[in-house]
C-alpha cells in the first residue's frame, strides 16, 4: 500500500464516526478538537484534510499521534477492532500495533487470553488479589510473581520481596544522586516559597523580604527543575539539532511552576480565611505541586512545539517566555494589594470569581465546539479582568 491509501482509510474511518450531538459524521475540525483534548496539540481541520488528501504525512516515529488517532476513531465508532487499526497503519506504511499498544487500545480483545498466557500454577487461581493487582504487568513481572507463588502459604511475603528486589535492582548510584538532587530542589522550594504563604506578615519590611525571596525562587526553581531533564541520552532529541531545546524546557518549567504556585496560593488562602493551621505534611505536599507540574511542563512544551511546527524556533512560542518574569511581577502586585487580598479578605472572592469565570468559559466553549479548549484571547481577557477588579477594589477601599 502507499500513503495515498492512508488518506483514504483515514477519511473512511472518520466518516464512519458519528457525532453524539449532531448524529452526523465526524468533521475534520471535530477530529482535530478531539486530538487537542487527547494529546494537547492544537491541530486544525486543515491539517486533517492535508492528511486525508496526502498533502502531508504523519512522521512514522510519532506513535503517540497515530495511536491517539486510532483511540479517537475507536471511541467515536469508526474503528471497531485492532484489525481495522492495523489496516489504517499498514495503509501508511506504519508498523502494526505492538502488544502494549494493543493492550491499551483494545483490552477487550486480549482480556480472555491473558490468563492463558500465565504459567499453570499461577492461572489456576485467577481470582486472587495478586493476580488482579498485577494482571496488566509485563510478562517479566508475571513470571516473577508466578515463581514467588511456589511454596507454603501465604505467598504474599515472597511476592512483595520479589517485586521490591526487582525494582531496587534497577537502581544505581546515579539514581540515588538524582534522588538527592530532587530533595535539595524541594528544600530550596520550601525555604524560598513557603514563607511567602504564611500570613499575616509580621511587618512591612518582613513582607518585602519574603516576597523578594519568592521572586528569586520563581526564577531559580524552574532553572533547577529543567536542569534535571537529560537530553543527551534521550532518543527523541538526539538527532534533532536545535539550540532552543533547553530554553523551551526552562519556559515549560516556568509555566508549570507558576500554575502550581497559584494552586497552592489558593489552598493557603482558604486555610488562612478558615483559620486552619497547616501541618508540616500539608506544607510538604504543597511544595511538591509546583515542582511536579513544572517538571511536566518542561517535558511537554518543547515536545508539543516540535510536533506542531517540526522545529523549535523563538518566533513559534517566544511570547510565553514572559512567564519567567511573572514571579517578580506577582511579588510586586501582591505587596501593592496585600491589604485587599489578605486583611480585607477579598482574596477568597477573587479566587471564586476566577474559578467561576474559567468554568463558565469552558462550558461555553464545550457547547459551541464540543471541547473545553479556551482560546488564547479568552485567557488574556480573563487575567485582564482580574487586574481591573483588583484596581477597582483598591479605589473602593479608599
Query: Which of the residue ranges 77-81, 253-257, 263-267 would you say has the lowest mean pLDDT?
Result: 263-267
Q: Encode 101-133: b = buried (16+ Cβ within 10 Å), e = exposed.
A: bbeebbeeeeeeebeeebeeebeeeeeeebbee
Q: Is residue 115 part of a domain?
A: no
pLDDT of residue 118: 42
Together in a domain, 81 and 220: no
220, β-bridge pairs:
none
Q: How far is CA 4 from the centre of its chain?
A: 34
194 and 297, same domain (yes or no): yes
Question: Angle formed by the axes of helices 280-309 and 245-273, to 10°?
Answer: 150
* Same domain membership, residue 156 and residue 187: no
**Domain final position from 303, 336, 369:** 336
364 in Cβ contact with 310 (< 8 Å): no
CB 374, CB 349: distance < 8 Å: no
Q: Indicate whether 222 and 329 sit together in one domain.
A: yes
Is 69's pLDDT higher than 70?
A: yes
Q: Band of the pLDDT at 134, cuts 50, 70, 90? A: very low
151 within domain boundaries? yes
Could you tell me which of 183, 131, 140 has the C-alpha nearest to residue 165? 140
Q: Within 13 Å, how many C-alpha atoms sit on residue 363's CB side? A: 6
pLDDT above 80 for 146: no
Q: Check which CATH number belongs to the domain holding 92 and give it.
A: 1.10.260
Q: How much is the pLDDT for 280?
A: 84
Cβ neighbours of residue 395 under 8 Å, at least 6 residues apart?
none
Residue 365's pLDDT band (cuts 50, 70, 90): low
Q: Are residues 159 and 177 in the same domain?
A: no
Same domain, 158 and 245: no
Of 103, 90, 77, give the one whose Cα is nearest residue 8.
Answer: 90
376 located within any domain: no
Distance separating alpha carbons of residues 29 and 49, to the nearest angstrom: 9
Percent of the chain with pLDDT over 70: 73
Of 39, 70, 16, which is closest to residue 371 (Cα–Cα)?
39
35, with CB counted inside 10 A (0-12, 13-18, 19+), is: buried
Q: In this structure, are residues 97 and 86 in contact, taking their beta carbons and an 8 Å threshold?
A: yes
Residues 78 and 201 in one domain: no
The pLDDT, as a whole number, for residue 135 is: 41
Confidence of residue 123 (pLDDT cuts 50, 70, 90): very low
Measured N-to-C along each axis, helices 3-16 and 45-52 cross at an angle, to the nearest 10 degrees, of: 130
Please enumerate in sequence order all residues whose Cβ is within 8 A of that of 363, keeping only pairs 6 or more positions apart, or say none. none
* Structure-derived torsion over alpha carbons of residues 257, 302, 91, 98, reported in degrees to the nearest 10: -60
Q: What average pLDDT does this structure show over 43-57?
A: 89
Per-residue model confidence (pLDDT) at position 165: 73
Is residue 190 domain-shared with residue 162, that is, in the same domain? no
- Last residue within a domain, chosen from 336, 364, 380: 336
Answer yes or no: do 188 and 317 share one domain.
Answer: yes
Check pLDDT > 60 for residue 60. yes
**Nearest residue to 122 (alpha-carbon basis) of 151, 143, 138, 137:** 143
- Indicate whether 136 pLDDT > 50: no
> Does residue 12 lie in a domain region?
yes
Q: In this predicted structure, what is the pLDDT of residue 349?
A: 66
319 lies in some domain: yes
Rounded-to-integer distance, Cα 218 and Cα 324, Å: 8
pLDDT at 245: 93
Helices (H) and strands (E) in the chain, counts: 21, 0
Q: What separation, in Å, do the N-terminal and C-terminal C-alpha atoms of the chain show?
A: 74
Residue 22's pLDDT band, with cuts at 50, 70 and 90, is: confident
Q: What are phi and psi of 18, to 5 degrees?
A: -125, 125
Smallest CA-to-CA distance from 72 within 16, 25, 31, 24 is with 31
Q: Are 147 and 259 in a shared domain?
A: no
The pLDDT of 244-262, averaged and rounded, is: 92
The answer for 94, left when phi > 0, alpha when psi is -120 to 50, beta otherwise, is: beta
Residues 157 and 217 in one domain: no
Query: Residue 372: what are its φ and ψ, rounded to 5°?
Result: -110, 20
Host domain of residue 13: 3-108
In the chain the beta strands, taken as DSSP E runs, fall at none
For position 371, what pLDDT does the model report? 47
Q: Is 235 inside any structural domain?
A: yes
Q: Taking residues 143-157, what's their average pLDDT?
A: 72
Q: What pLDDT sits at residue 226?
A: 95
SS3 (DSSP) at 61? coil
* Range ranked top by mean pLDDT from 28-37, 158-167, 231-240, 272-281: 28-37
Do 161 and 295 reside in the same domain of the chain? Answer: no
Pick the last residue of a domain from 336, 371, 390: 336
In the chain, what's the furthest Cα-to-Cα distance?
80
Q: 58-62, 184-188, 336-340 — which one is most confidently predicted on average?
A: 184-188
Q: Is 234 helix (H, G, I), strand (E, B) or coil?
A: coil
What is d(CA 291, CA 289) in angstroms, rounded to the nearest whole number?
Answer: 5
Give the pLDDT confidence of 164-217 residue by residue, as tens digits: 776 666 677 788 899 999 999 999 999 999 999 998 888 889 999 999 999 999
Q: Count of domains in the chain?
A: 3
Asked whether residue 255 is domain-assigned, the answer is: yes
Residue 355 within any structural domain of the chain: no
Does 269 or 134 have the greater pLDDT score?
269
Amino acid at each position: 500500500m502507499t500513503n495515498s491509501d492512508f488518506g483514504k482509510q483515514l477519511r473512511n474511518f472518520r466518516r464512519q464516526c458519528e457525532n453524539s450531538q449532531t448524529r452526523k459524521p465526524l468533521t475534520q475540525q471535530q477530529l482535530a478538537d478531539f486530538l487537542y483534548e487527547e494529546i494537547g496539540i492544537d491541530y486544525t481541520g486543515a491539517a486533517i484534510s492535508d492528511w486525508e488528501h496526502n498533502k502531508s504525512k504523519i512522521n512514522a516515529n510519532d506513535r503517540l499521534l497515530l495511536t491517539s488517532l486510532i483511540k479517537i476513531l475507536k471511541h467515536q465508532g469508526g474503528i471497531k477492532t485492532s484489525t481495522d487499526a492495523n489496516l489504517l497503519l499498514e495503509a501508511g506504511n506504519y508498523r502494526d500495533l505492538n502488544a502494549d499498544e494493543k493492550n491499551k487500545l483494545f483490552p477487550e480483545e486480549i482480556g480472555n487470553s491473558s490468563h492463558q498466557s500465565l504459567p499453570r500454577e499461577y492461572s489456576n487461581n485467577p481470582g486472587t488479589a495478586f493476580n488482579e493487582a498485577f494482571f496488566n504487568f509485563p510478562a517479566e513481572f508475571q513470571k516473577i510473581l508466578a515463581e514467588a507463588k511456589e511454596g507454603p502459604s501465604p505467598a504474599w511475603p515472597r511476592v512483595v520481596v520479589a517485586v521490591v528486589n526487582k525494582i531496587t535492582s534497577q537502581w544505581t548510584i546515579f539514581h540515588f544522586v538524582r534522588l538527592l538532587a530532587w530533595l535539595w530542589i524541594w528544600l530550596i522550594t520550601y525555604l524560598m516559597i513557603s514563607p511567602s504563604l504564611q500570613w499575616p506578615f509580621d511587618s512591612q519590611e518582613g513582607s518585602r523580604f519574603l516576597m523578594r525571596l519568592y521572586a528569586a525562587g520563581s526564577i531559580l526553581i524552574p532553572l533547577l527543575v529543567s536542569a534535571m531533564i537529560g537530553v543527551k541520552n534521550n532518543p527523541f532529541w538526539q538527532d534533532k539539532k536545535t539550540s532552543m531545546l533547553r530554553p523551551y524546557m526552562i519556559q515549560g518549567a516556568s509555566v508549570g511552576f507558576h500554575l502550581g504556585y497559584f494552586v497552592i496560593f489558593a489552598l493557603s488562602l482558604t486555610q488562612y480565611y478558615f483559620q486552619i493551621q497547616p501541618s508540616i505534611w500539608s506544607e510538604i505536599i504543597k511544595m511538591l505541586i509546583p515542582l511536579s507540574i513544572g517538571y511536566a511542563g518542561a517535558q511537554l512544551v518543547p515536545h508539543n512545539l516540535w510536533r506542531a511546527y517540526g522545529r523549535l524556533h523563538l518566533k513559534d512560542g517566544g511570547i510565553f517566555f514572559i512567564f519567567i518574569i511573572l514571579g517578580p511581577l506577582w511579588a510586586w502586585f501582591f505587596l501593592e494589594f496585600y491589604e485587599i487580598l489578605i486583611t480585607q479578605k477579598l482574596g477568597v472572592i477573587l479566587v471564586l470569581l476566577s474559578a467561576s469565570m474559567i468554568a463558565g468559559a469552558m462550558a461555553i466553549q464545550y457547547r459551541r465546539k464540543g471541547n473545553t479548549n479556551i482560546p488564547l484571547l479568552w485567557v488574556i481577557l480573563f487575567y485582564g479582568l482580574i487586574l481591573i477588579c483588583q484596581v477597582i477594589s483598591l479605589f473602593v477601599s479608599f
